[in-house]
Each structure stands twice: as structure tokens, then as C-alpha cells.
Amino acid sequence: MTPDALTVLIITGAALVLFVTELVAPDIVALMVLVSLGVTGILDLSELFSGFGSPVELTLIGIFMLTSALRQTGVTAYIGQFILRWTQNLDERPLVGMLALSSAFAAVWMNTVAAAALIAPVGRRIALKRDISPSQLMMPISFGALLGGMATLLTTSNLLVSGLLSERGLPAFGLFDFMPVGGPIALIGLVYLTLFSKSLLPNRAPSDQWSGLRNARKELTKTYRLSMRLHEAYVLPDSPLVGISLAASDLGHQYGVTVSAVVRGRDTFAPPDPAIRLRAGDWLLLQGRPAEVDTAAGNLGLDLFEFEESSQAVLFRANSELAEVALSPRSKLFGRTLSEISFRDKYGVTVLAIWHEGRPVRSYLSEYALNRGDAMLVMGTPERLGVLSRDSDFLVLTHLPEIPEHRERAATALLILVAFLVVVAFNWLPVALAALLAAIASVLAGCETVEQARDSISWQVLFLVGGMLPLATALDQTGAAGLVIDGLFRLTGEIGPRGVLMLFFLLTALVSQFTSGQAATLIVAPLALSSAFQFAINPQTLLVAVAIGASTGFLSPISHPANLLVMGSGGYRFGDYARLGAPLVLVAALGVYLLAPLAYPF
């Protein structure tokens, strides 16, 4: 063993210990590795800093910026609304499956963390609206993203092994080259999550801001005593309301009744548009005094029935939220009624109640003259509430969900994403160049500002990759990789190509549980590549196993940022991950053992 090889092995071991113990942040550990290789003279300057100019780094920068553009233009919000609509009537198990599938599908087209970040807010919103514990939904979202990442090139670990092949002059992986192995693993894993997540995950209260938002919603409905004035009704076929718009029905002026929600089949309108025309069979959630509601029902052909407390959840089934609003001190609206200022038409939100002198007012709201010190409980979409919050006459007193700033550029951002995927799929440009081109286009097209694009970049990931990539070069040049490989195979004996395949899968999976998938790939992939040359095995076969192993961070929250992303919002503990995740590691192991040699023969 040469002194340089021994030095590289010591640096590698020290880095691994620091990754596992978390005594130092992972990105700082990577920079320490970089400095150590330079100070000891193992690599020259061009090799030492090659990691920061690698295609992997540039690809990640592009993907971070493109994902930010999708969020800033509201594309991700539209996706969330679509999922909300199609899951509102699902039972919990199909709901879990739909969320995990959505996360997996998103991970096929973007970075794994970005995919989890895209779907996680949707899961939290569904939990909030349907009164489901987020601990039942959030982990399947992060695990779904990990499973989907196994089937695409755009996962960081997969990009790393592809870049390693390219640097050695070997054929790199294409966009869907991981699909024959990762695809079946992902499908089986999604079925498992759908069937078993509910029984294996805790029913635990969340600990993040959504818990506060959920509790605030409950407190607001309790404070304003909404349930005391809520009534359920069906529109009968002979009702004079059939074919009439809500605005023309005059329910508010004539009877003091507010229609808080309209349910029509699978569609929920909450708050309903004043222009919506009622149909026979529509389910209405009415608000008003019992006597006035009875009078309205008798005169207008409505079939009233007993209100159930659970029916109040329909208020939040659509993409709507509650907010408490007060008039600003310099408002010009004091003394004017909601009808006079055309409040509902102008702002697109519904007033459910008004707090006046220590008590809630819930009837004939359109005729109520606003006074100083009054607060209104309003319901509307985040976008409409955002419009209200920007009006100088009002102060929104409660938290509002994040609102995209460049919604008018949503179609442009989506077109840029599709163009990027097409270019990568047909190999018209290298992935790194295509990603940077898409990112630049998103900024120039106004889909995000320069500041938003800069803020979207995860510098921790870039430092980790840039600092650790030179270690792969050092392991190869000094012969340290060969020494480790020889030691491994002296321990395992003659195990054949499939044994070598599983050895590197299990080694990567093990290391990734205590560090990260990227760190595990950067440490194990060079060893796998050296083994492929030494034993005349197809390098792609072993590197697929390494990449899949790096995506098996199912046993702890620290094994992948996607797991950390949902830990707080789901209220999870360390043991929760292993309970649900251990079978997924076994599924991935069987998939690699059976499918990798078929897709990439030895």
C-alpha cells in the first residue's frame, strides 16, 4: 500500500465517520475532504476543483431554478388543486396511494427533493381540510418520491453514476435507462404504501405551522359559532331556484340566508360563485337563523334535513381557506354595508360571520353596516384572500398560504419544462446544458426573478457534490479503490457476478441510511466501477445497483432530505421510518437482484 493510497483511505474513513455522527454539517465535511486532498498533494488544482464544474453540479443548478419557476408561476399550485379535487372523496388508503403516486410521478421529471416539496404541501392541505392526521399522509409522499427517483436519470445519485461513466469514456445513462429496474420496484413499493401505510404509521398530531393553521381554523369556527347556524338542504326538482343563479335567488336580502357551499356530484364550490346556476339535486350548506331557513326552504322548494357536525368539513373540501379580516384604521368603508361596497363581487370571498362587540353576527350580513373594531370571518381561495390582503382598506389577521407571484407565466413555465424533457429524452443536448438552458429561459421569460432563482439553489447539495467528486478521482488514481475491493472480496469469497451486484447494492443502501444517497454514491460508485473493470462485469449493471441503493433511504429521516422535509409536518420519530421503510428496502434488493442483470447483462 502506497502512502498516497493510505492517506486517501484515511480521508475517506474520516469523512464517513463525520457523515454518520453528524458532528459537522455534510457540506462542510465535503469541503474538508477537498482541502485535505489538496493539502496532502494527492490531486493537483485542476483535478481538485473539477467537481464544481462537473455536469452534475450544473444539472442540479438548472433543476433547482426550473423547479422554482414552476412554483412561482403557480404550476405546482394547479397540480395541488387537481390532486385535491380528485382525492376529496377518496377513503384514506386510496388517498395515500394517490399522494404517493403523485410524488413518484413528479420525481420521474424532477429532482427527488423537489418532487417531495411539490406534493408535501398538498398532503398537508388535504390533512387540514379532511381532519386527517398528517402523520398518516406525509411519509408516503417522501417515500413515493424516493421510489419514483429510482426510475429516472434526474435523481442526483443517478446523475452522479451517469457522470462517472461519462468521465471514464463509457456510455452514460439516458433519461429512461433506469426505468426497467427502478420502474417495477417503484410500482410494487407504491402498492405496498397504499395497502399498509395506514396500519404501520402512527396517528400523531403534527408539529409544524399547519398544525397551527388547522387549530386556528377550528378555533375560528368555534369562536364564531358557525355550526349553530349551518343547515343542509337539497334542491328539489320543482324548486323555483332550478336554473337561477345564486345572485338572482335573493336568499341573502329576502331571507338573511347565506349559501356557504354547493356540492354537485364530485364537484364542491366553496365559496360558490354568485353566478353559479342551481340545479335539481344540488346539496347546499346554508347559514342563517333556523326560522328564516325554514321559511326559505318552504317557499323555495328545498328539502331540509338534520345538520351533522362533519358536514362543516365541506367548507374546506375545495381550494378554500378561512381568514379573519378587520377594517384598517384608515379604511374608507366604516358605516357602509357589504352590499353597498359589492364585497362578494369585488373580492370573490364569502363573509360567514361578523364579530361585533363580543358576539358573532351571522344573519342578514349583506345589510350589516361595518363598524370600527369589527372583524369578519371570510372564506375564499388563497388567491382571492391574497387580493383582499393587498387592499389598503382591510387587514388580514390570520396566516395565508403561499401565493405564486407570476401566475400569468404558468403556461410559459410548463412549456419550458416540456421542452427540457423532450430535449433530454431525445439526447439533443447533454442534460447539464439542457437544464441550464431551461433555467435561463425561465428567468428571461419572467417566470421567476433573478433573486428567486438564486434563492432556489440548495448550496448544501452543491458543496457536498463538488467537494466529494474529487475523492472518486483520488480513490482511483492512488489505487485505494482496488485495495478496498480486494479486502471486500477476501471477506466474501467467490460470490459470482450477482453476488458482486448485491454486495454493492447493500453497501450503498447501508451507507445511505447514515449519510445521504449522494454521499453514499460518491463513496461507493468509484469502488463499483473499479470492480467492474477488475472482474470484467458490465459497469452499467453495478452502477444501476449503486444508484438504486442510494435511493433506499427508507430507514431514517437523515438518510434523505425528502424524509427530513416531512418529519416535522408529520410529527415523526426515528423509529417510524424503519417500521414503514424496511420492507421497501427488501423490495428494492429483490428488484436489483432479478432485474438489473436482465436490463444490463453482465
Q: In this structure, is residue 292 part of a structural domain?
A: no
The domain total for the chain is 2
Residues 194 and 333 in one domain: no
Helix axes 539-550, 574-599, angle to 10 degrees: 160
Of 125, 62, 61, 68, give the one whose Cα is nearest residue 406. 68
In a domain, 272, yes or no: no
Q: What pLDDT score does 170 carry?
A: 85
Distances (CA, A) of 383 to 260, 319, 349, 404, 564: 18, 10, 10, 8, 29
Residue scoring higher pLDDT (129 or 544): 544
Same domain flag for 440 and 560? yes
Of 4-8, 405-409, 414-418, 515-519, the range with the lowest mean pLDDT is 515-519
Identify whether residues 361 and 503 lie together within a single domain: no
Cα(12)–Cα(470) distance, integer angstroms: 11
CB within 8 A of 280, min separation 6: which ones?
Answer: 235, 236, 237, 239, 242
- Please state the three-class secondary structure of 401-412 as a single string: CCCCCCHHHHHH
Q: Up-side HSE of residue 469: CA atoms within 13 Å toward CB?
A: 28
Q: How far apart are CA 59 and CA 23, in angstroms?
A: 29
Any domain includes 182: yes
In a 3-state reduction of DSSP, which class is residue 288?
coil
- The share of the chain scoring above pLDDT 70, in percent, equals 85
| Three-state SS annotation for 427-477 | CCCCHHHHHHHHHHHHHHCCCCCHHHHHHHCCHHHHHHHHHHHHHHHHHHH
When computed from its CA atoms, the radius of gyration of the chain, rounded to whole angstroms, is 29
From edge to edge, which strands make up the β-sheet containing 375-380? Answer: 359-361, 350-356, 375-380, 321-327, 394-396
573: in domain = yes
Which helix (H) or strand (E) covers residue 264, if one does? strand 258-264
User: Which of 174-178, 225-229, 300-304, 580-584 is the most confident on average?
Assistant: 580-584
Residue 53 in any domain: the answer is yes
Query: Of 380, 408, 430, which residue constitutes the final position of a domain?
Result: 380
Q: Does residue 124 belong to any structural domain of this protein?
A: yes
Contact 238, 299 (CB under 8 A): no
Burial environment of residue 574 by CB neighbours within 10 A (0 to 12, 13 to 18, 19 or more)? exposed
The pLDDT of residue 207: 44
The Cα–Cα gap between 69 and 106 comes to 15
Residue 126, C-beta contacts closer than 8 angstroms, at least 6 positions apart: 83, 84, 87, 95, 99, 132, 137
- Contact between 568 and 208 under an 8 Å Cβ cutoff? The reply is yes
Per-residue pLDDT, 536: 84
Report the CATH number that the domain containing residue 369 is assigned in CATH.
3.30.70.1450
Q: For the residues 520-528, what does the mean pLDDT come to?
A: 83
Residue 122 resides in a domain: yes
pTM of the model: 0.60
DSSP-assigned beta bridge partners for residue 235:
302
What pLDDT band is residue 428 in, cutting at 50, 70 and 90? confident
For 331, the domain range is 321-380
Rounded (10°) CA dihedral 505, 508, 511, 513: -70
137 and 36, same domain (yes or no)? yes
List, in order, residues 6 or more apart from 495 with CB less than 8 Å away: 489, 503
Same domain, 95 and 176: yes
CA distances from 492 to 499, 501, 549, 550, 589 (A): 9, 13, 19, 22, 18
pLDDT of residue 213: 47
- The helix/strand/coil state of 300 is helix
Percentage with pLDDT > 90 across the chain: 15
Mean pLDDT of the residues in the chain: 80
User: Does residue 91 sit in the same domain as residue 15?
Assistant: yes
Asked if residue 396 belongs to a domain, the reply is no
- Closest among 272, 266, 388 to 320, alpha carbons compared: 272
